[in-house]
Chains A and B, each alone.
Chain A
Amino acid sequence: MVKSFGETEVLRGISLSVKHHEVVALIGGSGSGKSTLLRCINLLEQVDDGQIFLDNRELTDPRVKQDEVRTHIGIVFQQFNLFPHMTVLNNVALANRQVFKKSKHEARAEAQVLLDRIGLGDKANEFPDRLSGGQQQRAAMVRAIATNPRVLLLDEVTSALDPELVGEVLDLIRELKQTGVTIVMATHEMDFAKDVADRVAFLDNGVILEEGTAKQVLTKPREARTREYLKRFHASR
Protein backbone atom coordinates (compact mmCIF):
# COMPACT_ATOMS: atom_id res chain seq x y z
CA MET A 1 0.00 0.00 0.00
CA VAL A 2 1.27 3.45 -0.90
CA LYS A 3 -0.21 6.76 0.22
CA SER A 4 1.03 10.31 0.09
CA PHE A 5 -0.44 13.67 0.96
CA GLY A 6 0.84 16.08 -1.62
CA GLU A 7 4.61 15.76 -1.58
CA THR A 8 4.71 13.91 1.73
CA GLU A 9 4.82 10.15 1.40
CA VAL A 10 3.12 8.76 4.46
CA LEU A 11 2.96 5.10 3.50
CA ARG A 12 5.85 4.05 1.34
CA GLY A 13 4.96 0.45 0.64
CA ILE A 14 3.18 -1.37 3.43
CA SER A 15 2.32 -5.04 3.32
CA LEU A 16 0.39 -6.58 6.15
CA SER A 17 -1.97 -9.52 6.49
CA VAL A 18 -4.28 -10.15 9.41
CA LYS A 19 -6.01 -13.45 10.12
CA HIS A 20 -9.48 -13.89 11.51
CA HIS A 21 -9.67 -13.46 15.29
CA GLU A 22 -6.19 -12.04 15.31
CA VAL A 23 -5.16 -8.93 17.22
CA VAL A 24 -2.41 -6.94 15.53
CA ALA A 25 -0.82 -3.92 17.15
CA LEU A 26 0.84 -1.18 15.11
CA ILE A 27 3.50 0.70 16.99
CA GLY A 28 5.81 3.52 15.98
CA GLY A 29 6.40 7.21 16.53
CA SER A 30 4.02 9.93 15.50
CA GLY A 31 4.10 10.47 11.76
CA SER A 32 5.14 6.90 11.12
CA GLY A 33 1.88 6.22 9.25
CA LYS A 34 -0.13 4.17 11.76
CA SER A 35 -3.25 6.29 11.61
CA THR A 36 -3.06 6.72 7.86
CA LEU A 37 -2.82 2.96 7.45
CA LEU A 38 -5.98 2.46 9.50
CA ARG A 39 -7.82 5.20 7.65
CA CYS A 40 -6.84 3.64 4.32
CA ILE A 41 -8.19 0.27 5.40
CA ASN A 42 -11.53 1.91 6.17
CA LEU A 43 -11.41 3.75 2.81
CA LEU A 44 -11.47 7.07 4.63
CA GLU A 45 -8.37 7.80 2.59
CA GLN A 46 -7.84 6.73 -1.00
CA VAL A 47 -4.63 4.76 -1.47
CA ASP A 48 -2.26 5.86 -4.20
CA ASP A 49 -1.22 2.34 -5.03
CA GLY A 50 -1.57 -1.21 -3.78
CA GLN A 51 -4.57 -3.24 -2.77
CA ILE A 52 -6.58 -4.01 0.34
CA PHE A 53 -8.53 -7.22 0.73
CA LEU A 54 -11.20 -8.16 3.24
CA ASP A 55 -12.33 -11.80 3.07
CA ASN A 56 -10.81 -12.12 -0.42
CA ARG A 57 -12.71 -9.11 -1.70
CA GLU A 58 -10.72 -6.17 -2.97
CA LEU A 59 -11.78 -3.02 -1.15
CA THR A 60 -9.61 -0.72 -3.22
CA ASP A 61 -11.44 -1.67 -6.41
CA PRO A 62 -13.17 1.56 -7.48
CA ARG A 63 -16.23 -0.49 -8.41
CA VAL A 64 -17.02 -1.49 -4.84
CA LYS A 65 -19.52 0.53 -2.88
CA GLN A 66 -17.52 2.36 -0.24
CA ASP A 67 -20.42 2.77 2.14
CA GLU A 68 -21.16 -0.92 1.98
CA VAL A 69 -17.51 -1.80 2.64
CA ARG A 70 -17.42 0.46 5.67
CA THR A 71 -20.35 -1.36 7.26
CA HIS A 72 -18.01 -4.36 7.62
CA ILE A 73 -15.21 -2.36 9.20
CA GLY A 74 -15.49 -0.62 12.54
CA ILE A 75 -13.14 2.17 13.51
CA VAL A 76 -12.64 3.94 16.82
CA PHE A 77 -10.87 7.27 16.88
CA GLN A 78 -8.52 8.87 19.35
CA GLN A 79 -11.00 11.67 20.04
CA PHE A 80 -14.05 9.33 20.44
CA ASN A 81 -16.08 11.28 17.85
CA LEU A 82 -19.39 10.46 19.50
CA PHE A 83 -22.21 12.54 18.08
CA PRO A 84 -22.83 15.20 20.74
CA HIS A 85 -26.45 15.82 19.76
CA MET A 86 -27.54 12.21 20.33
CA THR A 87 -27.85 10.18 23.50
CA VAL A 88 -25.31 7.41 24.03
CA LEU A 89 -27.98 4.87 23.22
CA ASN A 90 -28.84 6.54 19.92
CA ASN A 91 -25.16 6.80 19.06
CA VAL A 92 -24.85 3.05 19.41
CA ALA A 93 -28.15 2.27 17.68
CA LEU A 94 -27.63 4.71 14.78
CA ALA A 95 -25.93 2.48 12.20
CA ASN A 96 -28.23 -0.46 12.85
CA ARG A 97 -31.26 1.74 12.35
CA GLN A 98 -30.14 3.86 9.43
CA VAL A 99 -27.82 1.51 7.54
CA PHE A 100 -29.12 -1.93 8.42
CA LYS A 101 -32.74 -0.75 8.55
CA LYS A 102 -33.50 -2.45 11.83
CA SER A 103 -36.58 -1.26 13.68
CA LYS A 104 -36.13 1.48 16.24
CA HIS A 105 -37.15 -0.93 18.97
CA GLU A 106 -34.76 -3.68 17.90
CA ALA A 107 -31.77 -1.38 17.36
CA ARG A 108 -32.27 0.32 20.71
CA ALA A 109 -32.73 -2.99 22.52
CA GLU A 110 -29.48 -4.31 21.04
CA ALA A 111 -27.68 -1.10 21.91
CA GLN A 112 -28.94 -1.34 25.48
CA VAL A 113 -27.66 -4.91 25.78
CA LEU A 114 -24.22 -3.81 24.59
CA LEU A 115 -24.13 -0.84 26.95
CA ASP A 116 -25.25 -3.04 29.84
CA ARG A 117 -22.45 -5.44 29.07
CA ILE A 118 -19.81 -2.73 29.42
CA GLY A 119 -21.44 -1.25 32.50
CA LEU A 120 -22.81 1.85 30.84
CA GLY A 121 -26.42 0.69 30.86
CA ASP A 122 -27.47 3.45 33.25
CA LYS A 123 -25.81 6.10 31.04
CA ALA A 124 -27.71 5.05 27.92
CA ASN A 125 -29.96 8.09 27.86
CA GLU A 126 -27.29 10.61 28.79
CA PHE A 127 -25.64 12.81 26.21
CA PRO A 128 -21.96 12.03 25.54
CA ASP A 129 -20.60 15.16 27.23
CA ARG A 130 -22.02 13.96 30.55
CA LEU A 131 -19.67 10.96 30.45
CA SER A 132 -16.02 10.70 31.43
CA GLY A 133 -13.44 10.25 28.68
CA GLY A 134 -13.07 6.57 29.41
CA GLN A 135 -16.82 6.05 29.35
CA GLN A 136 -17.10 7.98 26.09
CA GLN A 137 -14.39 5.93 24.47
CA ARG A 138 -16.00 2.67 25.61
CA ALA A 139 -19.30 3.88 24.20
CA ALA A 140 -17.53 4.73 20.93
CA MET A 141 -16.10 1.22 20.78
CA VAL A 142 -19.49 -0.32 21.38
CA ARG A 143 -20.87 1.91 18.64
CA ALA A 144 -18.22 0.55 16.28
CA ILE A 145 -18.98 -3.13 17.06
CA ALA A 146 -22.76 -2.78 17.21
CA THR A 147 -23.03 -3.78 13.56
CA ASN A 148 -20.77 -6.83 14.00
CA PRO A 149 -17.98 -5.68 11.69
CA ARG A 150 -15.51 -8.19 10.29
CA VAL A 151 -12.60 -6.18 11.62
CA LEU A 152 -12.25 -3.48 14.24
CA LEU A 153 -9.69 -0.70 13.80
CA LEU A 154 -8.54 1.16 16.90
CA ASP A 155 -6.64 4.39 16.34
CA GLU A 156 -4.74 5.21 19.55
CA VAL A 157 -7.94 4.89 21.50
CA THR A 158 -6.30 5.61 24.85
CA SER A 159 -4.10 8.54 23.83
CA ALA A 160 -6.61 11.24 24.70
CA LEU A 161 -7.49 9.74 28.08
CA ASP A 162 -6.36 10.47 31.63
CA PRO A 163 -3.97 7.74 32.77
CA GLU A 164 -6.47 6.52 35.36
CA LEU A 165 -9.14 6.03 32.67
CA VAL A 166 -6.92 4.07 30.30
CA GLY A 167 -7.41 0.81 32.19
CA GLU A 168 -11.14 0.51 31.63
CA VAL A 169 -10.74 0.98 27.87
CA LEU A 170 -7.93 -1.58 27.68
CA ASP A 171 -10.06 -4.03 29.68
CA LEU A 172 -12.81 -3.64 27.10
CA ILE A 173 -10.38 -4.38 24.26
CA ARG A 174 -9.31 -7.50 26.14
CA GLU A 175 -12.93 -8.56 26.43
CA LEU A 176 -13.50 -7.95 22.73
CA LYS A 177 -10.53 -10.15 21.93
CA GLN A 178 -12.16 -12.93 23.98
CA THR A 179 -15.27 -12.71 21.81
CA GLY A 180 -13.13 -13.31 18.73
CA VAL A 181 -13.21 -9.89 17.11
CA THR A 182 -10.40 -9.25 14.63
CA ILE A 183 -8.57 -6.13 15.73
CA VAL A 184 -5.93 -3.89 14.19
CA MET A 185 -4.85 -1.22 16.61
CA ALA A 186 -2.40 1.63 16.58
CA THR A 187 -1.18 2.04 20.12
CA HIS A 188 1.41 3.49 22.45
CA GLU A 189 0.53 1.05 25.21
CA MET A 190 3.50 -1.32 24.89
CA ASP A 191 2.73 -3.44 27.94
CA PHE A 192 -0.82 -3.84 26.79
CA ALA A 193 0.29 -4.74 23.27
CA LYS A 194 2.66 -7.35 24.70
CA ASP A 195 -0.17 -8.78 26.72
CA VAL A 196 -3.02 -8.76 24.20
CA ALA A 197 -1.67 -8.53 20.66
CA ASP A 198 -0.91 -11.70 18.75
CA ARG A 199 1.42 -9.81 16.49
CA VAL A 200 3.13 -6.45 16.55
CA ALA A 201 4.28 -4.41 13.57
CA PHE A 202 6.73 -1.56 14.04
CA LEU A 203 6.16 1.24 11.54
CA ASP A 204 8.89 3.71 10.81
CA ASN A 205 8.81 6.40 8.17
CA GLY A 206 6.03 4.77 6.18
CA VAL A 207 7.25 1.19 6.09
CA ILE A 208 6.86 -1.82 8.37
CA LEU A 209 10.38 -2.11 9.64
CA GLU A 210 9.80 -5.13 11.81
CA GLU A 211 6.95 -7.54 12.32
CA GLY A 212 6.57 -10.57 14.53
CA THR A 213 4.98 -11.94 17.66
CA ALA A 214 4.34 -9.34 20.30
CA LYS A 215 6.92 -10.86 22.57
CA GLN A 216 9.62 -10.98 19.94
CA VAL A 217 9.21 -7.43 18.66
CA LEU A 218 8.75 -5.82 22.03
CA THR A 219 11.38 -7.71 24.04
CA LYS A 220 13.92 -8.90 21.47
CA PRO A 221 13.64 -6.53 18.50
CA ARG A 222 15.86 -7.42 15.57
CA GLU A 223 16.17 -3.95 14.07
CA ALA A 224 18.34 -1.29 15.64
CA ARG A 225 15.70 1.34 14.90
CA THR A 226 13.06 -0.65 16.81
CA ARG A 227 15.39 -1.06 19.77
CA GLU A 228 16.07 2.66 19.78
CA TYR A 229 12.38 3.52 19.64
CA LEU A 230 11.47 1.15 22.45
CA LYS A 231 14.36 2.35 24.57
CA ARG A 232 13.38 5.97 24.17
CA PHE A 233 9.77 5.06 24.75
CA HIS A 234 10.49 3.33 28.05
CA ALA A 235 12.90 6.04 29.13
CA SER A 236 10.19 8.66 28.76
CA ARG A 237 7.80 6.72 30.93
Chain B
Amino acid sequence: MSIDLKARRPSAIELERRAFRRQQSTRSVIISLVSTVLFAAVIWFAVVNSPGWQQVQNSFFNWDTIVQAFPRVGEGLWLNIRVLFYATIGVAVVSLLIATVRTLRSPVFFPLRALAAGYTDLFRGMPLIIVLYLVGFGIPGLNLFARMPLEFWGTIALITTYSAYVSEVFRAGIESVHPSQRLAARSLGLSYGKTLRLIVMPQAVRKVTPALMNDFIAMQKDVGLISVLGAVDAVRAAQIETAAAFNFSPYVLAGLLFVLLSLPMIRLSDWYTARLRKREQMGALV
Protein backbone atom coordinates (compact mmCIF):
# COMPACT_ATOMS: atom_id res chain seq x y z
CA MET B 1 0.00 0.00 0.00
CA SER B 2 1.45 3.29 -1.04
CA ILE B 3 -0.49 5.46 1.39
CA ASP B 4 1.81 7.61 3.43
CA LEU B 5 0.51 7.11 6.93
CA LYS B 6 3.09 9.07 8.84
CA ALA B 7 2.52 12.32 7.01
CA ARG B 8 -1.25 11.75 6.68
CA ARG B 9 -0.96 13.05 3.15
CA PRO B 10 -4.03 12.16 1.10
CA SER B 11 -3.35 10.31 -2.14
CA ALA B 12 -3.95 11.88 -5.53
CA ILE B 13 -7.07 9.77 -5.87
CA GLU B 14 -8.48 11.04 -2.60
CA LEU B 15 -7.63 14.63 -3.50
CA GLU B 16 -9.44 14.25 -6.81
CA ARG B 17 -12.41 12.75 -4.95
CA ARG B 18 -12.54 15.62 -2.51
CA ALA B 19 -12.32 18.14 -5.33
CA PHE B 20 -15.20 16.40 -7.07
CA ARG B 21 -17.34 16.37 -3.90
CA ARG B 22 -16.60 20.02 -3.28
CA GLN B 23 -17.58 20.80 -6.83
CA GLN B 24 -20.81 18.83 -6.40
CA SER B 25 -21.75 20.62 -3.21
CA THR B 26 -20.92 24.02 -4.69
CA ARG B 27 -23.17 23.18 -7.61
CA SER B 28 -26.02 22.13 -5.30
CA VAL B 29 -25.70 25.34 -3.32
CA ILE B 30 -25.76 27.46 -6.47
CA ILE B 31 -28.77 25.60 -7.85
CA SER B 32 -30.75 25.97 -4.63
CA LEU B 33 -29.77 29.61 -4.32
CA VAL B 34 -30.78 30.45 -7.86
CA SER B 35 -34.08 28.59 -7.61
CA THR B 36 -34.91 30.29 -4.30
CA VAL B 37 -34.19 33.75 -5.67
CA LEU B 38 -36.12 32.99 -8.83
CA PHE B 39 -39.11 31.70 -6.88
CA ALA B 40 -39.11 34.75 -4.59
CA ALA B 41 -38.81 37.08 -7.58
CA VAL B 42 -41.76 35.49 -9.34
CA ILE B 43 -43.97 35.79 -6.24
CA TRP B 44 -42.85 39.36 -5.63
CA PHE B 45 -43.43 40.36 -9.23
CA ALA B 46 -46.90 38.79 -9.28
CA VAL B 47 -47.98 40.51 -6.06
CA VAL B 48 -46.54 43.93 -6.83
CA ASN B 49 -48.06 43.96 -10.30
CA SER B 50 -51.49 42.81 -9.20
CA PRO B 51 -54.23 45.38 -9.91
CA GLY B 52 -55.04 46.01 -6.24
CA TRP B 53 -51.48 46.14 -4.88
CA GLN B 54 -51.45 49.89 -4.24
CA GLN B 55 -54.55 49.70 -2.09
CA VAL B 56 -53.45 46.59 -0.23
CA GLN B 57 -50.05 48.10 0.44
CA ASN B 58 -51.66 51.20 1.82
CA SER B 59 -54.14 49.48 4.10
CA PHE B 60 -51.93 46.63 5.36
CA PHE B 61 -48.37 47.95 5.27
CA ASN B 62 -48.77 51.58 6.22
CA TRP B 63 -45.61 52.53 8.11
CA ASP B 64 -47.09 55.54 9.90
CA THR B 65 -50.02 53.56 11.25
CA ILE B 66 -47.66 50.81 12.41
CA VAL B 67 -45.50 53.30 14.28
CA GLN B 68 -48.56 54.88 15.83
CA ALA B 69 -50.01 51.55 16.92
CA PHE B 70 -46.77 50.17 18.29
CA PRO B 71 -46.98 51.32 21.95
CA ARG B 72 -50.45 49.97 22.48
CA VAL B 73 -49.90 46.70 20.61
CA GLY B 74 -46.57 46.24 22.39
CA GLU B 75 -48.29 46.72 25.74
CA GLY B 76 -50.86 44.16 24.68
CA LEU B 77 -48.10 41.72 23.79
CA TRP B 78 -46.70 42.07 27.29
CA LEU B 79 -50.05 40.80 28.58
CA ASN B 80 -49.79 37.85 26.15
CA ILE B 81 -46.34 37.04 27.46
CA ARG B 82 -47.52 37.06 31.08
CA VAL B 83 -50.50 34.87 30.24
CA LEU B 84 -48.19 32.54 28.34
CA PHE B 85 -45.89 32.28 31.35
CA TYR B 86 -48.63 31.22 33.77
CA ALA B 87 -50.35 29.03 31.19
CA THR B 88 -47.11 27.14 30.52
CA ILE B 89 -46.64 26.37 34.20
CA GLY B 90 -50.28 25.39 34.55
CA VAL B 91 -50.19 23.13 31.49
CA ALA B 92 -47.00 21.42 32.69
CA VAL B 93 -48.52 20.59 36.07
CA VAL B 94 -52.00 19.58 34.93
CA SER B 95 -50.87 17.57 31.91
CA LEU B 96 -48.26 15.63 33.88
CA LEU B 97 -50.90 14.81 36.46
CA ILE B 98 -53.35 13.61 33.83
CA ALA B 99 -50.70 11.62 31.99
CA THR B 100 -49.64 9.94 35.22
CA VAL B 101 -53.23 9.10 36.11
CA ARG B 102 -53.82 7.64 32.68
CA THR B 103 -50.84 5.30 33.00
CA LEU B 104 -51.89 3.91 36.40
CA ARG B 105 -52.60 0.22 35.94
CA SER B 106 -54.39 -0.83 39.10
CA PRO B 107 -58.18 -1.42 38.79
CA VAL B 108 -58.66 0.73 41.92
CA PHE B 109 -57.90 3.77 39.83
CA PHE B 110 -60.48 3.03 37.19
CA PRO B 111 -62.70 6.06 37.99
CA LEU B 112 -59.70 8.40 37.93
CA ARG B 113 -58.47 6.87 34.69
CA ALA B 114 -61.89 7.19 33.11
CA LEU B 115 -62.15 10.78 34.26
CA ALA B 116 -58.74 11.63 32.81
CA ALA B 117 -59.58 9.87 29.54
CA GLY B 118 -62.90 11.69 29.35
CA TYR B 119 -61.16 15.00 29.99
CA THR B 120 -58.65 14.54 27.19
CA ASP B 121 -61.34 13.36 24.80
CA LEU B 122 -63.56 16.32 25.58
CA PHE B 123 -61.02 19.12 25.50
CA ARG B 124 -59.01 17.88 22.56
CA GLY B 125 -62.18 17.84 20.53
CA MET B 126 -63.59 21.18 21.66
CA PRO B 127 -62.50 24.30 19.75
CA LEU B 128 -60.42 26.56 21.98
CA ILE B 129 -62.60 29.55 21.23
CA ILE B 130 -65.66 27.80 22.64
CA VAL B 131 -63.72 26.77 25.76
CA LEU B 132 -62.74 30.41 26.12
CA TYR B 133 -66.36 31.54 26.01
CA LEU B 134 -67.53 28.81 28.38
CA VAL B 135 -64.77 29.45 30.93
CA GLY B 136 -64.51 33.20 30.44
CA PHE B 137 -68.22 34.04 30.59
CA GLY B 138 -69.72 30.92 32.13
CA ILE B 139 -67.68 30.44 35.29
CA PRO B 140 -67.82 34.11 36.41
CA GLY B 141 -71.55 33.94 35.76
CA LEU B 142 -71.89 31.35 38.52
CA ASN B 143 -71.06 34.12 41.01
CA LEU B 144 -69.01 31.62 43.03
CA PHE B 145 -65.71 33.40 42.79
CA ALA B 146 -64.52 36.91 43.44
CA ARG B 147 -64.30 39.07 40.35
CA MET B 148 -61.22 38.11 38.40
CA PRO B 149 -59.67 39.94 35.43
CA LEU B 150 -60.61 38.57 32.01
CA GLU B 151 -57.10 37.40 31.30
CA PHE B 152 -57.26 35.14 34.37
CA TRP B 153 -60.14 33.17 32.87
CA GLY B 154 -58.41 33.23 29.51
CA THR B 155 -55.38 31.61 31.13
CA ILE B 156 -57.58 28.96 32.77
CA ALA B 157 -59.19 28.18 29.41
CA LEU B 158 -55.79 27.85 27.73
CA ILE B 159 -54.58 25.54 30.49
CA THR B 160 -57.74 23.45 30.18
CA THR B 161 -57.40 22.94 26.44
CA TYR B 162 -53.65 22.59 26.15
CA SER B 163 -53.33 20.23 29.11
CA ALA B 164 -55.48 17.79 27.18
CA TYR B 165 -53.09 17.82 24.23
CA VAL B 166 -49.88 17.87 26.21
CA SER B 167 -50.96 15.08 28.56
CA GLU B 168 -51.35 12.82 25.54
CA VAL B 169 -47.82 13.71 24.44
CA PHE B 170 -46.51 12.88 27.91
CA ARG B 171 -48.46 9.64 27.95
CA ALA B 172 -46.98 8.61 24.61
CA GLY B 173 -43.56 9.35 26.07
CA ILE B 174 -44.18 7.37 29.24
CA GLU B 175 -45.41 4.40 27.27
CA SER B 176 -42.47 4.54 24.88
CA VAL B 177 -40.02 3.82 27.70
CA HIS B 178 -39.31 0.13 27.51
CA PRO B 179 -40.96 -1.95 30.28
CA SER B 180 -37.58 -3.44 31.13
CA GLN B 181 -36.62 -0.04 32.56
CA ARG B 182 -39.47 -0.28 35.06
CA LEU B 183 -38.51 -3.83 35.90
CA ALA B 184 -34.92 -2.81 36.51
CA ALA B 185 -35.99 0.10 38.73
CA ARG B 186 -38.50 -1.95 40.73
CA SER B 187 -35.92 -4.71 41.13
CA LEU B 188 -33.71 -2.19 42.93
CA GLY B 189 -36.50 -1.64 45.40
CA LEU B 190 -37.73 1.70 44.05
CA SER B 191 -41.41 2.37 44.63
CA TYR B 192 -43.88 2.87 41.80
CA GLY B 193 -43.81 6.62 42.26
CA LYS B 194 -40.04 6.83 42.49
CA THR B 195 -39.68 4.62 39.43
CA LEU B 196 -41.96 6.94 37.52
CA ARG B 197 -40.26 10.10 38.76
CA LEU B 198 -36.60 9.09 38.60
CA ILE B 199 -36.45 6.54 35.79
CA VAL B 200 -39.45 6.72 33.46
CA MET B 201 -40.18 10.45 33.37
CA PRO B 202 -36.67 11.69 32.51
CA GLN B 203 -36.49 9.28 29.58
CA ALA B 204 -40.06 10.02 28.52
CA VAL B 205 -39.61 13.78 28.56
CA ARG B 206 -36.42 13.50 26.55
CA LYS B 207 -38.21 11.49 23.89
CA VAL B 208 -41.16 13.83 23.51
CA THR B 209 -39.35 17.15 23.82
CA PRO B 210 -39.74 18.01 20.12
CA ALA B 211 -43.48 17.37 20.34
CA LEU B 212 -43.71 19.41 23.55
CA MET B 213 -41.90 22.33 21.94
CA ASN B 214 -44.34 22.11 19.07
CA ASP B 215 -47.31 22.38 21.43
CA PHE B 216 -45.64 25.23 23.27
CA ILE B 217 -45.22 27.22 20.07
CA ALA B 218 -48.84 26.51 19.13
CA MET B 219 -49.98 27.79 22.51
CA GLN B 220 -47.77 30.85 22.19
CA LYS B 221 -49.86 32.11 19.32
CA ASP B 222 -53.17 30.82 20.65
CA VAL B 223 -52.61 33.13 23.60
CA GLY B 224 -53.81 35.80 21.19
CA LEU B 225 -57.28 34.26 21.32
CA ILE B 226 -57.92 35.57 24.83
CA SER B 227 -58.82 38.80 23.03
CA VAL B 228 -62.25 37.32 22.31
CA LEU B 229 -62.99 37.73 26.02
CA GLY B 230 -62.22 41.42 25.78
CA ALA B 231 -58.82 41.33 27.45
CA VAL B 232 -56.66 43.99 25.83
CA ASP B 233 -53.82 41.85 24.51
CA ALA B 234 -51.84 42.45 21.33
CA VAL B 235 -54.63 41.25 19.05
CA ARG B 236 -57.29 43.29 20.83
CA ALA B 237 -55.04 46.35 20.86
CA ALA B 238 -54.48 45.93 17.15
CA GLN B 239 -58.22 45.71 16.65
CA ILE B 240 -58.74 48.96 18.53
CA GLU B 241 -55.99 50.71 16.57
CA THR B 242 -57.36 49.35 13.32
CA ALA B 243 -60.78 50.75 14.07
CA ALA B 244 -59.28 54.12 14.99
CA ALA B 245 -57.10 54.45 11.89
CA PHE B 246 -59.34 52.69 9.34
CA ASN B 247 -56.26 50.70 8.44
CA PHE B 248 -55.32 47.05 8.89
CA SER B 249 -51.61 47.64 9.46
CA PRO B 250 -51.81 47.16 13.27
CA TYR B 251 -52.92 43.55 12.67
CA VAL B 252 -49.85 42.99 10.54
CA LEU B 253 -47.75 44.47 13.32
CA ALA B 254 -49.33 42.21 15.94
CA GLY B 255 -48.82 39.20 13.66
CA LEU B 256 -45.16 40.04 13.18
CA LEU B 257 -44.67 40.50 16.93
CA PHE B 258 -46.14 37.06 17.55
CA VAL B 259 -43.77 35.57 14.98
CA LEU B 260 -40.82 37.31 16.64
CA LEU B 261 -41.98 35.95 19.98
CA SER B 262 -42.04 32.39 18.70
CA LEU B 263 -38.80 32.49 16.71
CA PRO B 264 -36.40 31.80 19.60
CA MET B 265 -38.46 28.79 20.67
CA ILE B 266 -38.67 27.45 17.10
CA ARG B 267 -34.90 27.75 16.66
CA LEU B 268 -34.31 26.22 20.08
CA SER B 269 -36.51 23.23 19.32
CA ASP B 270 -34.88 22.74 15.91
CA TRP B 271 -31.46 22.83 17.50
CA TYR B 272 -32.48 20.42 20.25
CA THR B 273 -34.09 17.99 17.83
CA ALA B 274 -31.01 18.03 15.61
CA ARG B 275 -28.81 17.38 18.63
CA LEU B 276 -30.92 14.43 19.72
CA ARG B 277 -30.83 13.00 16.23
CA LYS B 278 -27.08 13.34 16.05
CA ARG B 279 -26.60 11.61 19.36
CA GLU B 280 -28.88 8.73 18.45
CA GLN B 281 -27.46 8.13 15.00
CA MET B 282 -23.80 8.22 15.81
CA GLY B 283 -21.66 7.14 12.89
CA ALA B 284 -24.46 6.45 10.43
CA LEU B 285 -23.99 8.02 7.03
CA VAL B 286 -27.06 6.87 5.12
A contact residues vs B (CB 8 Å cutoff): 2, 5, 12-15, 44-46, 48-51, 60-63, 66
Q: Which residue of B lies closest to A15 (CB)?
A: B1
Q: Please give, as numbers and ranges, the residues of chain A lying within 8 Å of B10 by CB-CB distance.
A: 48-49
- For residues 1 through 45 of chain B, which have their beta carbon under 8 Å from a beta carbon of chain A? 1, 3, 5, 10-11, 13-14, 17, 20-21, 24
Confirm or deny: B189 has a beta carbon within 8 angstroms of a beta carbon on chain A.
Answer: no
Confirm or deny: B149 has a beta carbon within 8 angstroms of a beta carbon on chain A.
Answer: no
B20 in contact with A45 (CB, 8 Å): no
A13 in contact with B1 (CB, 8 Å): yes
Q: Contacts A12-B5, A45-B283 given; 18 further ones with Cβ under 8 A? A: A2-B3, A13-B1, A13-B3, A13-B5, A15-B1, A46-B285, A48-B10, A49-B10, A49-B11, A49-B13, A50-B1, A50-B11, A50-B13, A50-B14, A62-B17, A62-B20, A63-B20, A66-B286
Complex CA distance for A51 and B1, rounded to whole angstroms: 11
Complex CA distance for A61 and B13, rounded to whole angstroms: 9
Q: Which residue of B lies closest to A70 (CB)?
A: B286
- For residues 72 through 129 of chain B, which have their beta carbon under 8 Å from a beta carbon of chain A? none
Complex CA distance for A157 and B285, rounded to whole angstroms: 21
Q: Which residue of B lies closest to A50 (CB)?
A: B3
Complex CA distance for A62 and B16, rounded to whole angstroms: 10
Distance in Å: Cβ of B2 to nearest Cβ of chain A: 9
Complex CA distance for A179 and B10, rounded to whole angstroms: 40
Q: Please give, as numbers and ranges, the residues of chain A lying within 8 Å of B1 by CB-CB distance.
A: 13-15, 50
Q: Please give, as numbers and ranges, the residues of chain A lying within 8 Å of B11 by CB-CB distance.
A: 49-50
B270-286 vs A: 1/0 string, CB under 8 Å? 00000000000001111
Q: Please give, as numbers and ranges, the residues of chain A lying within 8 Å of B5 by CB-CB distance.
A: 2, 12-13
Complex CA distance for A159 and B10, rounded to whole angstroms: 35
Q: Please give, as numbers and ranges, the residues of chain B lying within 8 Å of A2 by CB-CB distance.
A: 3, 5
CB-defined A-B contacts under 8 Å, sample of 11: A13-B5, A45-B283, A45-B285, A48-B14, A49-B3, A49-B11, A49-B13, A50-B1, A50-B3, A50-B14, A63-B20
B3 in contact with A5 (CB, 8 Å): no
Complex CA distance for A97 and B14, rounded to whole angstroms: 36
The 10 closest A-B pairs by CB, nearest first: A49-B14, A15-B1, A62-B20, A13-B1, A13-B3, A62-B17, A49-B10, A13-B5, A62-B21, A49-B11
Distance in Å: Cβ of A169 to nearest Cβ of chain B: 25
Q: Please give, as numbers and ranges, the residues of chain A lying within 8 Å of B24 by CB-CB distance.
A: 62
Q: Please give, as numbers and ranges, the residues of chain A lying within 8 Å of B13 by CB-CB distance.
A: 49-51
